[in-house]
Amino acid sequence: MLPEISRSMLKNSLVLGLFAVTTVGLVALLQQATASRIAAAERAAQVRALAEILPQGSYDNQLLDSSVAVHDPELLGSKGPRPAYVATKDGQPSAVILRATAPDGYSGAIELLVGIRADGRLAGVRVLGHKETPGLGDKVELSKSPWILGFDGKSLSDPDEAGWAVRKDRGQFDQFAGATITPRAVVKAVHLTLQYFDAHKQELFAAQVNPHG
């Protein structure tokens, strides 16, 4: 038989232990739920952006089911393989949409979706995720400003090498008032993505596309 004080200590320890286990479990559950909500939101943003970049009618395959894995830390800023979506029309490649990361935003990496038509011109660029400052760097989002539409139709040779910079660096792309770092990072990443496309377009378009994405 335990003395009264030991029994009380045992009871308190059990209650405390149970509390700790329940709390850890709840936090883990919450974390998992949040992670899957973020993943679902990113997927939704990606589907929306894909549809915006390539208008219906410019391809006739199932874009999300037609991808090849690509990886290039230097030109795409990727940390591992990512899907490149290959659009075809009447069996001919019409465009590719690449995921790219601009590592040097004001507050960290900026995730991009870059659509490039078979002729090497940009079909469109959209920001999938960023941590830039509201009212300053977040103007790279189409919902905040039309700035990102300035890439439409541009290519590796239009503008030329020097033109692929913000105006403050004597390039052709506008910066924002009081925020040069964010647009500079995005312009650089899009330029590098065009270089990736130029170096790999044959294999991208010739690749056996994975029918399951």
Binding site for ligand FMN (CB under 6 A): 106, 132-133, 136-137, 168, 178-182
Contacts with 30 (C-beta within 8 Å, 6 or more apart), sequence order: none
Smallest separation, CB 186 to ligand FMN (Å):
10
Q: Residue 127 or residue 181: which is nearer to ligand FMN going by CB?
A: 181
- Rounded to the nearest whole angstrom, what is the least distance from the CB of residue 150 to ligand FMN in the complex? 16
Distance in angstroms (rounded) separating the CA atoms of residues 206 and 45 = 28
Rounded least distance, CB 183 to ligand FMN, Å: 7
Q: What is the 3-state secondary structure (H, E, C) of 51-75?
A: HHHCCCCCCCCCHHHCEEEECCCCC
Residues 6+ apart with CB under 8 A from 16: none
Nearer to ligand FMN, 63 or 185 (CB): 185
Report the alpha-carbon distance of residue 210 to residue 93 in Å, rounded: 15
Residue nearest to ligand FMN (CB): 137
Nearer to ligand FMN, 23 or 107 (CB): 107
The nearer residue to ligand FMN, 22 or 145, going by C-beta atoms, is: 145
Contact present, 124 and 99 (Cβ < 8 Å)? no
CB of 79 to ligand FMN, least distance (A): 22
